[in-house]
Amino acid sequence: MPRARLTKSIIDALPTPSRELVYWDETLPGFGVKVTPAGRKVFIVLYRTGGAGSALRKYTIGPHGRVTLHLARGEAHKVLSARREGRDPAAEKGEARRRLSSDRVEDVVKLFVQQHASKRRSGREIERLLRRDMVERWGARSIHSITKRDVVACLGEVVDRGAPIGANKLLRVMRTLFNWCIGKALLERSPCDSIPAPSRVISRDRVLSDAELAQVLMAARQTGGPYGAIVELLALTAQRREEVARMGWDEIDLEAGTWTLPAGRTKNGRPHLVHLTEPAAALIRRMPRLGDCVFITSGAAPFNNFSKAKRELDGLSGIVGWRLHDLRRTAVSGMARLGIAPHVADKILNHTSGTISGVAAVYQRHEFMAERRDALERWGQHVAELLAAQPSSTARLSGRLEPVPGEMR
C-alpha cells in the first residue's frame, strides 16, 4: 500500500484507481484515506483487535470534503487511543448504529405499559398520554434518537395548544418512562434530565364554605343522574373522584353500611373501608343496576364525562373556580370544625402518613373504625342541616331522599 505525508493538496491530487486503494499517512500509523474507482475518498483507521497477528478492524471516519483532514486526524487519534485502552471502537460504532435502528419508541412504550404502567391505578391515563404525544410523534424512531431538544419541543406544542398543566403531567410521565428505560439498560441517560416543568403549578387549597357547599349539592340534585349522585357522595364520604366514580356493586354492603375499596383501586395500593351513612347509602340504593359499576351512563362503562358535567354544575350552582377534589378537602376541613381528631380524618382519607408518623406510625396499627363511623355520621348530619336550611325541601339530605326532577331512579 502506498504511503504519503497526507495533506489536503496531496489528497485532492490523488488519482482515481482502477480498484480500491488506500494511501497511509506517514505521520500517524493506521490512519489513511481510501480512494475508490468511483473517485470517492474516505478517511479510515485500521487497527488490530488484539495483539500481534490478531484480526484487523477497519473504522470508517467519513468522506473527504465533508470531513476535513484536521478533524479526521483528530478522530483517528481518538480511535487509536480507545484501542489502547482495550476497547473496540468499530464494534462500538456498529452497536450504536444498530441501536439507532432498533428499540422503536412505539415498541418501548408498549413494553413500558405492559410491565410498569398497567400495574398502576393511573395506567390508562399514562398510556393515553404516551400514545398521543410520544407514539404519534416519534413512534417509528429509535428511543436512542430522542434528544432533550425533542422533549422540549414536544412539551412546547402541548403548552401551545392550551394545556400547560397537561404539559407538566406529560413531562412527569416521560421522565418515568425514560428512567424505566435506564433501569432496563436500554438507555444510559434520560433526555428529560434538567428539564423544568413547562408551567408553574399553583397549589390548590380551595375549601368551599358551608353556603357554597349547599349550593353545589343543590345543583347536583338538580343535575341528577350518575354525576349528581357522584358529587353528593364525594361530599359525604371525602373519597377520591375515581374511587367513587368507579364504585362497584360488589364493593358495597348496604346492610352493614360499608364500602370496601380493594387495593387495586386506591392511590396508596392499600384496601380501604369507608362507612356509609344513611344519606350515602340512600344515594346508592336509588341507582339502577345496569352493570358491575354503580354509576353508569350507557352500556357497561362507568361515568366519565366529567368536564361537560362540571361546567353544567358550575352554571347551575353559580360556584366557579373549584374542582371536585376540593369536596374532599372541604369535608375534612368541616370535620375539623366539628372537633373530629386529625388522625381520625387521616384514616377516613386513607392517608398512609399524617398526624401519626415516624416511630409512632410503625407501632400504631389501630384503624379507629368506631371513630371514623362517628365522624362521617356527624359530618353527614352537618351537611343535612345545611341543605335543610335551603329554600327547596327536595334538597334535604336525609335517610329517605325525595326524588329531584331529572334524577335517575
CATH number, domain with residue 353: 1.10.443.10
pLDDT in tens, 7-34: 999 999 999 999 999 999 999 999 999 9
* 239 in the same domain as 144: no
Whether residues 130 and 154 share a domain: the answer is yes
Round to whole Å and give the CA distance between 71 and 5: 16
Mark whether 113 and 59 lie in a shared domain.
Answer: no
Amino acid 407: pLDDT: 35
One domain, residues 167 and 315? no
Q: Is residue 303 part of a domain?
A: yes
**Overall pTM > 0.85:** no
Q: What integer pLDDT is reported at residue 102 of this predicted model?
A: 67
- The answer to whether residue 372 is domain-embedded is yes
- As for how many domains the chain has, the answer is 3
Which residue range(s) make up the domain with 310?
210-395
8 and 48 share one domain: yes
Give the mean model confidence (pLDDT) for residues 321-349.
Answer: 94
Mean pLDDT of 277-299: 90
Higher pLDDT: 136 or 403? It is: 136
Average pLDDT, the chain: 87
Which pLDDT value is given to residue 63? 94
Q: In the listed set 72, 100, 128, which residue is the last one of a domain according to the structure?
A: 100
Same domain, 251 and 351: yes
Whether residues 39 and 157 fall in one domain: no
* Residues 228 and 119 placed together within one structural domain of the fold: no
139 and 56 in a single domain? The answer is no
The answer to whether residue 204 sits within a structural domain is no
Highest mean pLDDT among 4-18, 111-125, 357-371, 393-407: 4-18
pLDDT in tens, 91-125: 888 777 766 556 899 999 999 999 998 888 788 88
pLDDT band at 406 (very low <50, low <70, confident <90, very high): very low
pLDDT of residue 203: 59
> Would you say residue 170 lies in a domain?
yes
Mark whether 231 and 371 lie in a shared domain: yes
Same domain, 85 and 117: no
Task: For residue 43, tell me if it sits in a domain.
Answer: yes
